[in-house]
A and B are shown apart, each in its own frame.
Chain A
Amino acid sequence: MQLATDGPVMADGSALPTSDGRDVILSSRDLRIDFNRFAAVDGVSLDIERGHIHALIGPNGAGKTTCFNLLTKFLTPTAGSILFEGKDITALKPAEVARLGMVRSFQISAVFDQLSVLQNVRIALQRKSGDSFAFWQSENRLRRFDDEAMALLKGVGLDTMARTRASELSYGRKRALELATTLAIEPKMLLLDEPMAGMAHEDIDRMADLILAAAEGRTILMVEHNLSVVSRLAHRITVLARGKVLAAGDYKTVAADQRVIEAYLGGGSHG
């Protein structure tokens, strides 16, 4: 079994490519954060290979969301380091991490409520344009992004609702809008926190399709509880329990791991 934590780190801190030929895009070393002396994430080392869909699973409260917050710098780790494409991003601000091409979603859907569906996607397209501080120009300038935004909306099946206020979308559609918005900034890597939580069955299948399509030429790290989805999508799985990596590997390896079975049975719920 190939543990995801055993990739060698080069002297200059760069972790790619490793000696066994793996191209690691994101890695963490001994990542840790203490909330009032309680370590929610306790020495997590991860290696995410470029082009993989990597699933992060584990019981509730295991520290998965906190891990996402650390990797994207929404939280500052107490100890440890994070490398993205060989660059040490441990000291960066979250907006700078996003600008490097690593974009995360949130466990609770995050759309810009008062803006229209089209405007939501345009916000993302606008970011690289350099006129985001132009307060003296008309917003008509943003119409140059309309075609691109519509194409992205079509990709997630929302093109017919372009002028709907985002707050009025159903939950499943909000998540789809989120994905379209995220893809609009063409990130190299996506971190999706429970993208299917709270969705109806048919929506789950569609979202899985969307994620597969989004994974084309990208790396995805996702938290997901639905194990059938995980087995269908993920190349690699890391199991987290009580802030620590319990096991890592492909689905078969992880599913057969005695500690994982115990953690899931002992931990009670995983939904």
Chain B
Amino acid sequence: MAEPLSITPDFVPVVPAERDDKALHRVIFIVLALAICVAPAFIYPVFLMKVLCFALFASAFNLLFGYAGLLSFGHAAFFGLASYVSAYTAKFWGITPELAILAGTAAGALLGLAFGAIAIRRQGIYFAMITLALAQMVYFFSVQRPDFTNGEDGIQAVPRGHLFGLFDLSNDMTLYWTVAAIFMGAMLLIHRFVHSPYGQVLQAVRDNERRAVSLGYRAQRYKLMAFVMSAAIASLAGATKAIVFQVATLVDVHWSMSGEPILMALVGGVGTIFGPLVGAAVMTTLQNYLVSAGSWITVIQGVIFVLCVLTFRAGIVGTIADRLKRNL
């Protein structure tokens, strides 16, 4: 009875013990922190901040898609709303930037709670379509309420202000360290979220929801929590972006903005912690080089998207992870 059910030996890949992965992840996080420290010596900090904001945005999307199996077509709603709230409160209420970012994040998280409660009742493509529809409502709201969003022009000339009322963020490097700290903090939070007792159940629900339910798990609650966390981090990215670039516009809530993290996560590797970061770096760099190409950017991005889906499913980090037989 203690013998295996099937006697025929078969080849079976072995998952490294969690502690092996943990040690590797720690090393990667340290290398990442060092890279973020030395990068501004070589690369324009404003560009780096753009990469970090989008890396956060893509990581938020990936948290939901990669670890909860929920494909959102509407993350621009959280990114954009938070961008508006952050810009509005910083400019018109005159609050300090960290409070403005907090306000934007809280607003986006609340919206995530409302949208999540509606969307998680559906699965697969229906879920995706509902998130898209809800996000379009936010877009139309933004168009309809220029008193809040300032319509086509958007909220411009948002003051970067003084962090905690002390550190002047109009200095690019001071702002850079602030954004880097936000980014690292959020990445560590995502990592913990995924590699926690909760994260284990979330992945079980992703792999087989009915089975998780049959073991007594109230699957909807786990999915809703992931949705809210994902929305909150997407909001954090949008709110931070508004302070960095000092604008919040309709572009932030447009459906095409929902496409950005999807593409970045796909290129970098869905369901990996570090993939979205790599994807964001690659895609932002590409966009930077291709500004002269004008509307061809869209075509090129489309081609990359199709290539990823057809031939490069695992993405950059996903492919490396497969080679190393590690979780990254």
The smallest beta-carbon distance between A133 and chain B, in angstroms, is 5
Q: Are A123 and B200 neighbours in the complex by a CB distance under 8 Å?
A: yes
Q: Are A163 and B17 neighbours in the complex by a CB distance under 8 Å?
A: yes
The answer to whether A123 and B199 touch (CB under 8 A), given A111-B208, A164-B15, is no
Nearest CB in chain A to that of B205: its residue: A112
The smallest beta-carbon distance between A196 and chain B, in angstroms, is 11
CA distance A96 to B211 in the complex (A): 13
The answer to whether A114 and B215 touch (CB under 8 A), given A168-B12, A173-B4, is no
Answer whether residue B163 sits at the interface, using C-beta atoms and an 8 A cutoff: no
The answer to whether A164 and B12 touch (CB under 8 A), given A157-B1, A157-B4, A202-B7, is yes
Chain A residues with Cβ under 8 A from B200's Cβ? 115, 119, 122-123, 126, 139, 142
The stretch from A5-13, A17-25, A40-48, A205-213 touching chain B is A205-213
Nearest CB in chain A to that of B207: its residue: A112
Q: What is the size category of the interface that chain A forms with chain B? A: 35 or more
Within 106-140 of A, Cβ neighbours of B (below 8 Å) are at 106, 110-116, 119-120, 122-124, 126-127, 129, 131-140
Chain A residues with Cβ under 8 A from B221's Cβ? 133
CA distance A112 to B218 in the complex (A): 16
Answer whether residue B217 sits at the interface, using C-beta atoms and an 8 A cutoff: yes
Chain A residues with Cβ under 8 A from B218's Cβ? 93, 95
CA distance A115 to B8 in the complex (A): 23
Q: Are B214 and A72 neighbours in the complex by a CB distance under 8 Å?
A: yes
Answer whether residue B13 sits at the interface, using C-beta atoms and an 8 A cutoff: yes
Within 70-125 of A, Cβ neighbours of B (below 8 Å) are at 72, 74, 93-96, 98-99, 103-106, 110-116, 119-120, 122-124
The stretch from B74-82, B138-146, B188-196 touching chain A is B188-196
Q: Are A106 and B196 neighbours in the complex by a CB distance under 8 Å?
A: no
The smallest beta-carbon distance between A69 and chain B, in angstroms, is 10
Answer whether residue B292 sits at the interface, using C-beta atoms and an 8 A cutoff: no
Contact with A along B84-122 (1 / 0, CB 8 A): 000000000000000000000000000000000000000
Answer whether residue B38 sits at the interface, using C-beta atoms and an 8 A cutoff: no
Of A139, A140, A168, the residue contacting B13 (CB under 8 A) is A168
Nearest CB in chain B to that of A161: its residue: B12
Chain B residues with Cβ under 8 A from A156's Cβ? 5
Q: Are A95 and B207 neighbours in the complex by a CB distance under 8 Å?
A: no
Q: Are A132 and B5 neighbours in the complex by a CB distance under 8 Å?
A: no
Q: Are A123 and B215 neighbours in the complex by a CB distance under 8 Å?
A: yes
CA distance A156 to B12 in the complex (A): 17
Most buried by A among B10, B197, B200, B210: B197
The smallest beta-carbon distance between B16 and chain A, in angstroms, is 7
CA distance A160 to B10 in the complex (A): 13
CA distance A163 to B197 in the complex (A): 18
Chain B residues with Cβ under 8 A from A139's Cβ? 18, 195-197, 199-200
Within 229-274 of B, Cβ neighbours of A (below 8 Å) are at 229, 271
CA distance A182 to B16 in the complex (A): 24
CA distance A182 to B215 in the complex (A): 7
Q: Are B5 and A123 neighbours in the complex by a CB distance under 8 Å?
A: no
Q: Are B215 and A181 neighbours in the complex by a CB distance under 8 Å?
A: yes
CA distance A245 to B4 in the complex (A): 37
- Which A positions have Cβ atoms within 8 angstroms of B? 72, 74, 93-96, 98-99, 103-106, 110-116, 119-120, 122-124, 126-127, 129, 131-142, 154-161, 163-165, 168-170, 172-173, 175-176, 181-182, 185, 200, 202-203, 206-207, 209-210, 213
- Ranked nearest first, the 5 interchain pairs of A and B with the lowest CB-CB distance are A98-B216, A110-B211, A135-B198, A112-B207, A116-B15
Q: List 24 A-B contacts (CB under 8 A).
A: A94-B213, A96-B216, A98-B214, A98-B215, A98-B216, A104-B214, A110-B208, A112-B207, A120-B204, A123-B204, A126-B201, A127-B217, A132-B201, A132-B217, A134-B197, A136-B192, A140-B19, A159-B2, A165-B12, A165-B13, A170-B5, A172-B5, A181-B215, A206-B1
